[in-house]
Structure formats: structure tokens, C-alpha cells
Amino acid sequence: MPETFDLLALGGDGIGPEVTGCALKVVEKACDSDIRVDITEELLHGACYEKTGTFLKETTLDHAKRADAVLVGATGGPQWDDVRPAGEEAMSDGLMQLRMELDAYAGLRPARAIACLEPLTPYRPGLTGGADVLVLREMTGGNFFAAERGVDRSPEAPRRGYDLGVYDEHQIARLAHVGFRLAGRRRRHLVSADKSNVMEMHVLWREVVSEVALEYPEITLEHLYADNASYQLARDPRRFDVIMADNLFGDMLSDQAGVIVASLGMLPSACLTGLPGDTGRVCGIFEPVHGSAPDITGKGIANPIGAILSAAMMFDYAFGRADIARNIEGAVTAALEGGARTPDLGGRLTSAAVTDAILAQLDS
Ligand code: NAI
Ligand code: MG
């Protein structure tokens, strides 16, 4: 009897449904006789708003809470930027609401250099070879989830916009534990990026990360100011192993890490509710790092690899099948080596053709 997993797939907006469709084909192909994945597709954010008047349906949220994994494409678009569905908070976004409701606080965003793509990066030959960075981004706190936020528009005073960033020690500590444990499975080096030189929130950040470090004497912890971390990452990506940062800096550093792999469309991510033990599983939202890319929506040329590698992370973390994850990653690399590339990688293939090349590699 195969073990059966319940997967909720939410394509979302723009290129989201396009790349999610590609990833689902890979999910079906990658399963062996020991695993079955039952897929349910639902709407999220703008696509959901157009049909139902809300960014995230109650029934979808309920399903997400009991599912073994949630696979997301991307959300957002200019047409919904000013939409505030009745009864929802000031800044409403279906995906951010989902992350918050599931408490998926640990955002794992790996960027691993792929040798055949190095000529497409802005780096000199030899600078990215072997680079393997994991950005760990806090996903449910900080400025992005500020309770105190708004734009004051009083006729007597200049307009005033604010998002009051807050982290409590528990939020920082639980992320730091994930960071140290991840580093322990890798090259045992953890960089914590903050701005404790100018921000009180980050004074506490550095203090708590240093306290948690005492429990992990085998890991080398390095504190860097976030601006310097960004500079060092651009200069020499190979010096990094795991980089942990708050929601805002983690967002920026993980996009920046995409340069190592030549395109933002290559980057996968997992938003987890913790870190599984060596054999365990954990719930999570698996999604490419990129957004809905309105500029290329509907053209069939979006790079599906970020979504496909997110599905690989799902097999690893949510289904406890690291072997299948490695198979998918191997098939992606082999397809790229064989020249399967969308325009963002200098190629001419469609999303569907690149997916077919990956499926063919899984077959062989
Ligand atoms: P974006 O990531 O959608 O696009 C940035 C650039 O990268 C664009 O030139 C786009 O064409 C390209 N790109 C992105 N993914 C690609 C792929 N798979 N293949 C080929 N090229 C790709 O970011 P942008 O333009 O800042 O935001 C567009 C919308 O997406 C906004 O509404 C934003 O709020 C939303 N967004 C959503 C995210 C999510 O759902 N997790 C993350 C970031 C932005
Ligand atoms: Mg981003």
C-alpha cells in the first residue's frame, strides 16, 4: 500500500498557475509505488478575489491546515494592489494570510550554483563554482506583519506612512534554532544579518541569536550588518553557508542570492512550521521565490524550475522522501545541461517544453 499524502495546490495569479501546473506534472511523475499524492487545486489571492470577493476562502484555509503540504505559485498584481476586501485588515494578501494562519515562520530559500549556468551570471568565471547558500527568512513577523501600520492623511500635517516592526524573543529564538540546526546539517556556518547598529528590534535580534548560539557550540556564528551581508554575498557567495535574517532583509537577500543561479525563476522555497527531525516531516507551504511576473504572464515562457524545485523540497520536508527530492533536482540539472532553457536563461523553450525535458530525465 502506498503512503498517501494530501496536497493542496494554489496557483494564484499571473505566472503562478502556469508554473504550478508544470510542478504538478513533475510531482505525479516523480512518485514511485510507495507514495501517492492526492492533489486538490484551489484559488488564491487575486484569482480568488475575482470569483469570490475574498483573497483566501475559509474552506481553502481549513484544507491548508489539514493538508500534508501546500504548493503555491505566486500572488499579486497591480489590479489588486488597492483592493481591501471588507472585514480584512489593512494590508490583506492571501499568501501572507496563509503563512500567518499556518504559522509557517521558517522560510528556507536555497540558492545553489549550477555549473552550466555560470556563463549566464554576471560573475567572472570561477567565482560562483560550488556556491551553495541557504537564506533562512523569518516569514510571519517584523515590518511586513506590523500591527501598527497605515498612512495618516490629515489636512493639517504632512502625510505619514508607517509599519511598526516588532519581534519578540520567542520569534527570534525559534528561527535561530532552525538556523543552527540547518547549519549543523550543512557546513556549520551561520551568518545572522541585522541592523543592530541602528535598530532596537535588531539589538534584541542579535542578543537572542547569541544566546541560542550557546546551545550549538559546534556551529560558527557570525553576525553581519545586513548591508554588509548583501555586499559580501555579491562579492563572494562561496563564503556563505546559512544566512538568517528577518522578514524584510531575508526577502532582499534571498532575491539577491538568485543571481548565483542566473535567474530569479530558478529559486525554490519552503515556509515551514519548524524543522523535522532526521526522519520526520513537517507542514509547510512550498513556493518559488519569484512573484507573479505580470510582464510575461500568458506567454508560456515562465521558467518553471523554481516551482519544480519547490516541489522537490516538499518531497524532502513534508513527505520525508529525500530520495525523490534528489531525483527531481538531478533531472533539473540534467535537463539544463541538455539545453532546456526558457528565455530568462537565454533559451527559447516554453515552460511546457522545459518541463517535458525534466520529465524525460525522470524517465531515464
Ligand atoms: P517578480 O518576481 O514577479 O518579477 C521580477 C522579474 O523577474 C520580472 O522581470 C519577471 O518577468 C522575472 N521573473 C520572475 N519569475 C520568473 C520566472 N519564473 N521565469 C522568468 N522570469 C521571471 O517580481 P515583481 O515584478 O516585483 O512583482 C510582480 C508581482 O508579484 C507584484 O504584484 C508583487 O507583489 C508580486 N510578488 C509576489 C510574490 C509571491 O507570490 N511570493 C513574491 C514577489 C512579488
Ligand atoms: Mg522577494
Mean pLDDT to the nearest integer, 257-271: 95
| Shortest-distance atom of ligand 1 to CA 19 | 18
pLDDT in tens, 157-202: 999 999 999 999 999 999 999 999 999 999 999 999 999 999 999 9
Check if 82 has its Cβ closer than 6 Å to any atom of ligand 1: no
Which one-letter amino acid corresponds to residue 28?
A: E
CA distance 1 to 280: 20
Check if 194 has its Cβ closer than 6 Å to any atom of ligand 1: no
Q: Whose CA is nearest to atom 27 of ligand 1?
A: 291
Q: Residue 329: what are its φ and ψ, rounded to 5°?
A: -60, -40
Check if 296 has its Cβ closer than 6 Å to any atom of ligand 1: yes
Q: Give Cβ neighbours of residue 6 (< 8 Å, ≥ 6 apart).
A: 38, 40, 66, 67, 68, 69
Place of cell 524517465: 363
Check if 47 has its Cβ closer than 6 Å to any atom of ligand 1: no
pLDDT at 90: 46
CA distance 216 to 220: 9
Which one-letter amino acid corresponds to residue 33?
A: S
Check if 265 has its Cβ closer than 6 Å to any atom of ligand 1: yes
Q: Which ligand is nearest to the CA of 306?
A: 1
CA distance 132 to 11: 28
Span from the CA of 251 to the centroid of ligand 2 (angstroms): 5
Look at residues 295, 293, 320 and name the one whose alpha carbon lies nearest to residue 304: 293
pLDDT at 248: 97
**Kindly report the CA angle at 192 between 189 and 196, in degrees rounded to 5?**
150
Radius of gyration of the chain from its Cα atoms, rounded to whole angstroms = 20
pLDDT at 83: 87
Torsion of CA 293, 257, 311, 48, to 10 degrees: -30
Query: What domains does the chain contain, in order, with CATH numbers?
Result: 1-107+268-364 (3.40.718.10), 122-137+155-261 (3.40.50)
What is the band of 249 on the pLDDT scale with cuts at 50, 70, 90? very high
What is the band of 75 on the pLDDT scale with cuts at 50, 70, 90? very high
Q: Which ligand is nearest to the CA of 135?
A: 2
- Indicate the SS3 state at residue 43: coil
Decide if pLDDT at 363 tops 60: yes
Decide if pLDDT at 264 tops 50: yes
pLDDT at 281: 79
- On whether the CB atoms of residues 109 and 252 are closer than 8 A, the answer is no
What is the band of 278 on the pLDDT scale with cuts at 50, 70, 90? low
| Shortest-distance atom of ligand 1 to CA 72 | 40
Share of the chain above pLDDT 90, in %: 92
Look at residues 104, 105, 133, 129 and name the one whose alpha carbon lies nearest to residue 117: 129
Mean pLDDT to the nearest integer, 221-242: 97
Q: Whose CA is nearest to atom 43 of ligand 1?
A: 291
Check if 258 has its Cβ closer than 6 Å to any atom of ligand 1: no
Check if 291 has its Cβ closer than 6 Å to any atom of ligand 1: yes
pLDDT in tens, 309-323: 999 999 999 999 999
Check if 302 has its Cβ closer than 6 Å to any atom of ligand 1: yes
Mean pLDDT to the nearest integer, 326-334: 98
Q: Please choose from 10, 247, 264 the residue to mutate so as to test ligand 1's pocket, defined by most ligand atoms within 8 A of CB.
A: 264
Span from the CA of 141 to the centroid of ligand 1 (angstroms): 22
Residue 287: count of CB within 10 angstroms of its CB: 31
Place of cell 483592493: 83
pLDDT in tens, 80-128: 988 887 665 544 789 999 999 999 999 999 999 999 999 999 999 989 9
Q: Give Cβ neighbours of residue 186 (< 8 Å, ≥ 6 apart).
A: 132, 134, 241, 242
Mean pLDDT to the nearest integer, 245-250: 98
Q: Which ligand is nearest to the CA of 293?
A: 1
Check if 271 has its Cβ closer than 6 Å to any atom of ligand 1: no
Check if 107 has its Cβ closer than 6 Å to any atom of ligand 1: no
What is the band of 14 on the pLDDT scale with cuts at 50, 70, 90? very high
Mean of per-residue pLDDT scores for the chain: 95
Mean pLDDT to the nearest integer, 24-39: 98
Which one-letter amino acid corresponds to residue 54?
A: T
Q: Which ligand is nearest to the CA of 14?
A: 1
Torsion of CA 132, 136, 139, 141, to 10 degrees: -150
